[in-house]
Amino acid sequence: MPAFKIEKPQAVPYLKTLIIGKPKIGKTTFLGTSPLKTLILDFEGGDSVLPIRDNLDIVRITDLSQFDDVYDFLINDKHGYELLGIDSISEINDKMFLELLEQEADKHKRRDLNRPEIQDYNILQFAMSRLMRSFRDLPMHVIMTAHPVEILSKDQGYQQWPKMTPKKMPTIATGMMHEVTYYVRDTEGKRYLLLENFPEFGGIGCRVRDGINLPNAIEEPTLPLYFDALRGEMQNKEVVPTFFEEKVQEDNSEKETE
């Protein structure tokens, strides 16, 4: 017998999704539409927008040490949860950096909290990567949210990435997740989950699964609709949010006057 396990691929493998979107735009509400038994680790205080449902539970994270306790519970206990939401890794990253600087200042009394050193960034990168990878690899669906930030690229101009420190962390975070999507709202107030790149919206880098006919975006998204899309069960149609139309028109008018 081989020293490894051979399995058939799942129809819908576990989601390992990163959702990037501005604060208060609806990412937490999106997590609350889960039809599965769901646990949300709330670091932003966004639980007030979540519905009261039997399949939805929350852990309010007030101290980073709680992550170890939650991880041990999820990896060892027969908890029955099928989906884990972490809201948000941008806030967790900020809190982790502040705690790290405070710890270093306590060890070295001459350290200035406002002047991080290179080793601080290296420690932060390792700790944040370890936390994200540990939860990502749990045998369940995992969805993490993040705030966006525009980063200037020499080759591609401004691009939108998850807001994280240090500089390599946005690339590490998007690279370790299987799906990268963007949650946006257009000028008419409609919400969209973007599944494809929209160059008109400032270099968004979406990534979902290959070999599936997907819509380019989900209008008024819910988790059941997201599952349907990844199964290839949603009609493959082009969605054009209104602010994209306005942006394209502005770009075209500028080109015509040049």
The full DSSP string for 239-258 is ---HHHHHHHHHHHHHHHH-
Q: Counting Cβ atoms within 10 Å, is residue 13 exposed (0-12), middle (13-18) or buried (19+)?
A: exposed
pLDDT of residue 209 exceeding 60, the answer is yes
pLDDT of residue 238 exceeding 60, the answer is yes
Higher-confidence residue of 44 and 166: namely 166
Residue 237: band (very low, low, confident or very high) from pLDDT cuts 50, 70, 90: low
- Segment 76-103, tens digit of pLDDT: 878 999 999 999 999 999 999 999 998 8
pLDDT of residue 73 exceeding 60, the answer is yes
Question: Average of pLDDT values for 169-189?
Answer: 91
Q: Which region holds residue 81: left if phi is over 0, alpha if psi is between -120 and 50, else beta? A: beta
Residue 114: band (very low, low, confident or very high) from pLDDT cuts 50, 70, 90: confident
With a pLDDT cut of 70, the percent of the chain lying above it is 79
pLDDT of residue 255 exceeding 60, the answer is no
Question: Average of pLDDT values for 24-32?
Answer: 92
Residue 258: band (very low, low, confident or very high) from pLDDT cuts 50, 70, 90: very low
Rounded distance between C-alpha atoms, residue 85 and residue 34, angstroms: 10
Give domain limits for the chain: 16-257
pLDDT of residue 121 exceeding 50, the answer is yes
Q: What value does the mean pLDDT of the chain take?
A: 83
Residue 151 sits at φ, ψ, to 5 deg, of: -120, 130
The Cα-based distances of 124 to 45, 221, 224 in angstroms read 23, 33, 35
Question: Average of pLDDT values for 138-155?
Answer: 87
Higher-confidence residue of 1 and 118: namely 118
Domain 16-257 has CATH 3.40.50: yes
pLDDT attached to residue 249? 41
pLDDT of residue 203 exceeding 70, the answer is no
pTM for the model: 0.84
Question: Average of pLDDT values for 222-237?
Answer: 84
